[in-house]
């Protein structure tokens, strides 16, 4: 990374951190008195849009969205691959209001965590997977019934660019039990915003929004099939974006 780029990255993080502290502090005193939809816009949408402006100005990272016409009118479960912090900014601003699954410990961070708590996240204890799954199912279903988008990163954690993690079934299960589709999203953010380190690369992040996917039936088998279909779509779309190596001929044909 050149000295000039290092300076730009430093300024980006300085302004990002400062704005986050100021905005979360302001939100702590104003947002509790707003209805949830307005509170979400005040805390999350406006600040995330500001963060994306900083990304564009200082890091020269832009975004290209394909498939916006696939977004259904009724909020549903969003399943996206996870490579960086960037997609949390982008998706939080693009879909409103939105709740996402996050580590419970984040809510304990002064001001930042307190502001996040007002956005009705699904805060889970990762050390207790069974309880976490039940919480995602119960709270996620309630949020969907109240027309709130639910964002789930089925890989569970950030995965380095060029790799793909195993998709958990929690998002598919939530959608099937709620009688709603999953909205698959794939992107290549990790190419420009790597999982490790502070370095960033200029370029255009490509985000692809697929058509909503409905389960074929109900029960565990339908959940597994829907999850496998979403995972296969994400993997193929990442290959099309150049994020993953091209599939071997026998894989492309589905031959073992």
Give the DSSP per-residue string, 37-82.
HHHHIIIIIHHHHHHHHHHHHHH-EEEEEE-GGG--SS--EEEE--
Residue ranges of the chain with per-residue pLDDT less than 70: 1, 247-256
CA 223 to each of CA 60, 138, 152, 213, 220: distance values in angstroms, whole numbers, following the listed order: 40, 16, 15, 11, 5
pLDDT value at position 154? Answer: 94
pLDDT tens, position by position, 135-190:
889 999 999 999 999 999 999 889 999 999 999 999 999 999 999 999 999 999 99
pLDDT at 256: 32
Q: Where are the domains of the chain?
A: 3-247
Q: pTM of this prediction?
A: 0.90
- pLDDT score of 131: 85
CB atoms within 10 A of CB 48: 18
Q: What is the pLDDT of residue 151?
A: 96
- Name, in order, each residue with C-beta under 8 angstroms of 61's C-beta and a sequence gap of 6 or more: 55, 86, 192, 193, 200, 201, 202, 203, 204, 205
Q: How far apart are CA 85 and CA 153, in angstroms?
A: 12
**What CATH number has the domain spanning 3-247?**
3.40.1130
Phi/psi of residue 182, nearest 5 degrees: -100, 145
């Amino acid at each position: 990374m050149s000295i000039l780029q290092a300076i730009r990255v430093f300024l980006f993080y300085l302004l990002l951190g400062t704005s986050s502290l100021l905005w979360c502090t302001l939100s702590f005193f104003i947002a509790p008195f707003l209805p949830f939809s307005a509170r979400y816009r005040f805390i999350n949408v406006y600040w995330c849009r500001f963060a994306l402006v900083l990304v564009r100005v200082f890091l020269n990272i832009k975004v290209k969205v394909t498939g916006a016409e696939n977004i259904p009118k009724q909020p549903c479960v969003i399943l996206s691959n996870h490579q960086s912090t960037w997609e949390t900014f982008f998706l939080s601003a693009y879909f409103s209001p939105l709740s996402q699954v996050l580590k419970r410990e984040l809510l304990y961070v002064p001001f930042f965590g307190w502001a996040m708590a007002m956005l009705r996240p699904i805060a889970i204890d990762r050390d207790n997977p069974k309880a976490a799954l039940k919480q995602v199912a119960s709270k996620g279903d309630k949020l969907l019934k109240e027309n709130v988008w639910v964002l789930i990163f089925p890989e569970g954690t950030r995965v380095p660019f060029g790799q793909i993690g195993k998709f958990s079934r929690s998002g598919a299960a939530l959608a099937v039990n709620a009688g709603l589709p999953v909205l698959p999203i794939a992107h290549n953010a990790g190419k420009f915003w790597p999982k490790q380190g502070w370095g960033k690369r200029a370029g255009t992040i490509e985000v692809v929004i697929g058509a909503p996917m409905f389960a074929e039936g109900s029960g565990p088998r339908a959940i597994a099939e829907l999850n496998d279909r979403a995972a296969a779509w994400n993997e193929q779309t990442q290959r099309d974006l150049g994020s993953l190596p091209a599939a071997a001929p026998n894989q492309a044909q589905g031959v073992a």
